[in-house]
Amino acid sequence: MDGNGRWARARGRSRVMGHRAGARAAQRTVQAAREARVRILTLYAFSSDNWARPPREVAGLMRLFRVYLFAETGRCVENGIRLSVIGRRDRLPSALIGAIESAEAATAGGRMMDLRIALDYSARDAIMQTAAETAGKDLSREEFDVQMAKAIHSPTTGEVDLLIRTGGEQRLSDFLLWESAYAELVFSPCMWPDFGAPELASALKEFHSRERRFGGVPEAVAS
């Protein structure tokens, strides 16, 4: 969800205002993904490296996440969406941890879509933690997936099919590195606060136009 800062600067507003507009874009996109029958949507809201941002911006983001979770819970319940937060919890403010636990409990019965919000998330840390916890065990990839999902508090496992990055950046920035082994990447010039249903539809169209071979040849995949 890149581009909040630049979107705000172009309007003479603060970065926190850009993040607020970003939260509205997240609401629109969740709705659009639900209507497009996306099964799992993961939003990268705060990376473990984002703690390096100015304290004022970090505090504004932590407040915004709490407000977002309260606001989103009702909509998720109405739409059959199970909301969960992936990443580390021990460095988050206690009020935010409470909001996460309430949102997860209230939406636990959702069966139509999984909405995962990544907060204090680092894919490299998740891989290292899981590798350390499973050292010496002869695990399959699927079993490793399950252990990693536990490490990041994710109720779901599985591969990323489509990874969309906005704001013109073309990097992965420590996001779902293990799960994205065969992800299709779509880089959009759109600043995140301007993202919504049309931009999601365009990324999905691009995704469906791609031929996915998973290291095989087209005929093998087709059969």
Tell me which residues touch ligand FPP (CB under 6 A): 1-6, 15, 19, 22-23, 26, 43, 45-46, 50, 64-65, 68, 117, 167, 192
Q: Which is nearer to ligand FPP, 38 or 130 (CB)?
A: 38
Q: How far is the CB of 168 from ligand FPP (least distance, A)?
A: 9
Rounded-to-5 percentages of helix, strand, coil across the chain: 50, 15, 35
Q: How far is the CB of 56 from ligand FPP (least distance, A)?
A: 13
**Catalytic pick among 4, 49, 50, 161:** 50
Q: How far is the CB of 205 from ligand FPP (least distance, A)?
A: 23
> Tokens standing for 14?
């603060």
What string of DSSP letters covers 28-56?
HHHHHHHHTT-SEEEEEEEEGGGGGS-HH
**Cα-Cα-Cα-Cα dihedral of 68, 49, 153, 62, to 10°?**
-20
Q: Which is nearer to ligand FPP, 43 or 203 (CB)?
A: 43
CB 57 within 8 A of CB 28: no
Q: How far is CA 42 from CA 15, 116, 140, 171, 208, in A?
A: 23, 4, 24, 17, 19
CB 104 within 8 A of CB 84: yes
Q: Which is nearer to ligand FPP, 145 or 195 (CB)?
A: 195
Q: How far is the CB of 77 from ligand FPP (least distance, A)?
A: 17
Q: Which is nearer to ligand FPP, 86 or 145 (CB)?
A: 86
Catalytic residue at 49?
Answer: no
Catalytic residue at 4?
Answer: no
> Tokens standing for 183?
């992800």
Question: Annotated active-site positions, please?
Answer: 2, 50
